[in-house]
């Protein structure tokens, strides 16, 4: 297949970029009073406003043509159909089947995966109901008050983000904690005030071999057993989520307390599987299913909507426009919602692990930019930190703003202040402030003539900074499902254009491998000489200090 950069649409976009680079969005808005209406899409109550982008009808036409030339529609069909598009691991990619509320059969190697998915969903329902109704009791007969989810990466970030996002749907008497870092401080600080009799651990690991998770799980088991008589108690306090029954059993967890998932669920796409068990426990299975419903709605939209009105397609193509034609290296995720505090962390993994690749699906080295650096923070905090660089720095940073029209709380004034900041920021980034406008303000403030030019330059904002806005009624489980799935498919669109495998993670595997070798070298007191001088030096200095 031809490289995306060799395609006619790519060449056209390169020439078109010269034209657009000279135009200011301020003028595009003045020239077209219908710009917002034309460049925004509704998906039920969610509004996706992409009008504050450096685009014209021509840009969109060329971007859609690029999508057609890379065969995006066929690639979407192949993913939903269960083709083994994760070619390096020879796996299908079917997180969409996990939330397939239509229950339409989905075949992998000729076998429908839906009955298995429904069976695990039922197991999750029974378990989460039992914990929440106090039917499930600890070894001394007390109900569970604290659930500690032990996992890392894809087995941690998704559920952690969702549980935080849905805090208003949680019960104060049932706390869900997350431990991921192998740094003992994480586990120690989490369990230090917990009661063994009322604590339940979920050990979540696709492979059940990950160093961090297994180290934490073993220490958690030790902590638990230190105060308990008899190994049978473990069955009431440890459950596992994994694809590896053998290892789960070897750890000492009864496989009847194991929740299965499958190799066609990538870690960073696994919150919809049993990896989402802490979500079901925290907010109830009905709310977990609403989360699935929201994601399924986006799946149907992504699968069937024409390119021109397809939100993830637009998100992906706009990202490509800045990444590959304007040289933007980053993207900011800016939810104006404290409950979405971990959204940027989750999307950072989803995007950077998926599209942080330098070879195409045929194993050929790429000569163009792929995935952006994703970062972000809940608004308004970022405004008092890194927004300065977005407004006046030398880098182009496309931003995504997200907010709910309604808050879960009713303290007067807060929500209006929050949303006014969101909307004002998108306007300021787009409009900027000319030197002339800055001068007029300074003169009105009585600034002396000799400082006028210098200050006016410092207070000039170039504007023309692109942003997307997502505005919806409230952050409920279904809406959250919608938002996450939109971003998952945006990542897919970009990976499809770049012709990379968005579903393996060799960089993560490397880390897992290296840590084992170095761990071996750390034991004993003898000097290490098997690495280059810096690694030897670090190991030997560590040995001298410990
Ligand atoms: C995600 C990655 C990675 C993975 C963790 C945990 O897509 O594969 O982040 O989720 O390394 O792996 P386990 O679930 O196997 O412990």
User: What are the pLDDT digits (tens) for 245-274?
Assistant: 999 999 999 899 999 999 999 999 999 999
Cross-strand bridge partners of residue 143: 137
Give the model's pLDDT for residue 540. Answer: 96
Confidence of residue 229 (pLDDT cuts 50, 70, 90): confident
Q: What is the dihedral of CA 463, 24, 495, 116, to 10 degrees?
A: 70
**How far away, in angstroms, is 151 Cα from ligand 1 center?**
8
Residues 334 and 466 sit within 8 Å (Cβ to Cβ): no
By DSSP bridging, strand 199-204 and strand 146-150 are: parallel
**How far away, in angstroms, is 180 Cα from ligand 1 center?**
11
Q: What is the pLDDT of residues 218-227, one digit of tens each?
A: 999 999 999 8
Q: State the Cα–Cα distance between residues 99 and 96, nearest whole angstrom.
A: 6
**How far away, in angstroms, is 243 Cα from ligand 1 center?**
12
Q: What integer is the mean pLDDT of 145-151?
A: 98
DSSP 466-519: -EEEEEES---HHHHHHHHHHHHHHHHHHHHHHT--TT--HHHHHHHHHHHHHH
Task: Please tell me the residue having the least CA distance from ligand 1 atom 8.
Answer: 267
Q: What integer is the mean pLDDT of 505-523?
A: 89
Q: 78-95: buried (b, 16+ CB within 10 Å) or exposed (e) per residue?
A: bbbebbebbeeeebbbbb
Phi, psi of 166 (to 5 degrees): -105, 25
Q: What integer is the mean pLDDT of 446-453?
A: 97
DSSP state of 137: B
| Nearest-atom index, ligand 1, CA of 204 | 14
Cis upstream peptide for 380 (omega within 30°): yes
| Nearest-atom index, ligand 1, CA of 210 | 16
Q: State the Cα–Cα distance between residues 311 and 299, nearest whole angstrom.
A: 11
Mutation to probe ligand 1, out of 153, 161, 262 (largest number of atoms < 8 A from CB): 153
**How far away, in angstroms, is 269 Cα from ligand 1 center?**
10
Mutation to probe ligand 1, out of 491, 508, 511 (largest number of atoms < 8 A from CB): 508
Q: State the Cα–Cα distance between residues 422 and 124, nearest whole angstrom.
A: 38
Pocket, ligand 1, Cβ cutoff 6 A: 152-155, 205-207, 210, 213, 266-268, 353, 505, 508
Q: What is the pLDDT of residues 269-285, one digit of tens each?
A: 999 999 999 999 999 99
Q: State the Cα–Cα distance between residues 472 and 310, nearest whole angstrom.
A: 17
Q: Which runs of E-coded beta strand occur in 195-290?
A: 199-204, 238-242, 258-260
- Please identify every residue annotated as catalytic: 353, 384, 512
- H helices of 229-356, in order, are 234-237, 245-251, 277-283, 285-304, 311-320, 343-355
Confidence of residue 47 (pLDDT cuts 50, 70, 90): very high
Query: Angle, to 10 degrees, between the axis of helix 57-69 and the axis of helix 8-21?
Result: 160
Phi, psi of 69 (to 5 degrees): -70, -25
Give the model's pLDDT for residue 520. Answer: 92
Q: State the Cα–Cα distance between residues 47 and 486, nearest whole angstrom.
A: 12
Number of other residues whose CB lies within 10 A of the CB of residue 215: 14
The reported pTM is 0.97
* 3 state SS of 133: coil
């Amino acid at each position: 297949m031809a490289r995306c950069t060799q395609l006619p649409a790519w060449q056209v976009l390169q020439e078109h970029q010269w034209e657009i680079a000279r135009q200011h969005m301020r003028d595009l808005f003045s020239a077209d009073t219908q710009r917002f209406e034309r460049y925004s899409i509704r998906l039920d109550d969610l509004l996706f406003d992409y009008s504050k982008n450096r685009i014209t009808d021509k840009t969109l036409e060329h971007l859609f043509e690029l999508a057609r030339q890379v065969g995006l529609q066929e690639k979407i069909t192949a993913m939903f159909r269960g083709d083994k598009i994760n070619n390096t691991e020879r796996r299908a990619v079917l997180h969409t089947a996990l939330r397939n509320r239509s229950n339409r059969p989905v075949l992998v190697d000729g076998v429908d995966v839906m009955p298995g998915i429904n069976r695990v969903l039922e197991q999750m329902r029974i378990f989460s109901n039992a914990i929440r109704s106090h039917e499930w009791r600890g070894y001394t007969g007390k109900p569970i008050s604290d659930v500690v989810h032990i996992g890392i990466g894809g087995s941690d970030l998704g559920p952690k983000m969702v549980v935080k996002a849905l805090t208003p749907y949680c019960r104060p008497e049932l706390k869900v904690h997350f431990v991921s870092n192998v740094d003992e401080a994480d586990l120690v600080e989490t369990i230090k005030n917990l009661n063994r009799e009322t604590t339940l651990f979920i050990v979540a690991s696709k492979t059940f071999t990950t160093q961090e998770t297994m180290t934490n799980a073993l220490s958690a088991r030790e902590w638990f057993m230190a105060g308990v008589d008899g190994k049978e108690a473990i069955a009431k306090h440890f459950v596992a989520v994994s694809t590896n029954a053998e290892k789960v059993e070897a750890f000492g967890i009864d496989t009847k307390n194991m929740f299965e998932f499958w190799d066609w669920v990538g870690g960073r796409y696994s919150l919809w599987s049993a990896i989402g068990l802490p979500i079901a426990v925290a907010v109830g299975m009905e709310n977990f299913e609403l989360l699935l419903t929201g994601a399924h709605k986006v799946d149907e939209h992504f699968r069937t909507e024409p390119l021109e009105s397809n939100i993830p397609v637009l998100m992906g193509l706009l990202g490509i426009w800045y990444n590959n034609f304007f040289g933007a290296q980053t993207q900011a995720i800016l939810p104006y919602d404290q409950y979405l505090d971990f959204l940027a962390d989750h999307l950072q993994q989803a995007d950077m692990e998926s599209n942080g690749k330098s070879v195409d699906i045929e194993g050929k080295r790429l000569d163009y930019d792929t995935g952006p650096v994703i970062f972000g923070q809940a608004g308004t905090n970022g405004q008092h930190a890194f927004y300065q660089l977005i407004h006046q720095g030398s880098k182009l940073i496309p931003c995504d703003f997200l907010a709910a029209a309604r808050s879960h709380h009713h303290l007067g004034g807060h929500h209006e202040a929050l949303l006014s900041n969101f909307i004002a920021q998108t306007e300021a980034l787009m409009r900027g402030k000319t030197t002339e406008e800055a001068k007029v303000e300074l003169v009105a403030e009585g600034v002396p003539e000799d400082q006028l030019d210098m200050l006016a330059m410092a207070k000039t904002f170039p504007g023309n900074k692109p942003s997307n806005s997502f505005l919806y009624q409230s952050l409920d489980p279904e809406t959250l499902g919608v938002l996450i799935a939109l971003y998952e498919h945006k990542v897919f669109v970009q990976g499809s254009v770049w012709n990379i495998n968005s579903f393996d993670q060799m960089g993560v595997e490397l880390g897992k491998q290296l840590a084992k070798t170095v761990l071996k070298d750390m034991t004993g007191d003898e000097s290490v000489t098997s690495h280059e001088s810096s690694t030897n030096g670090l190991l030997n200095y560590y040995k001298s200090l410990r």
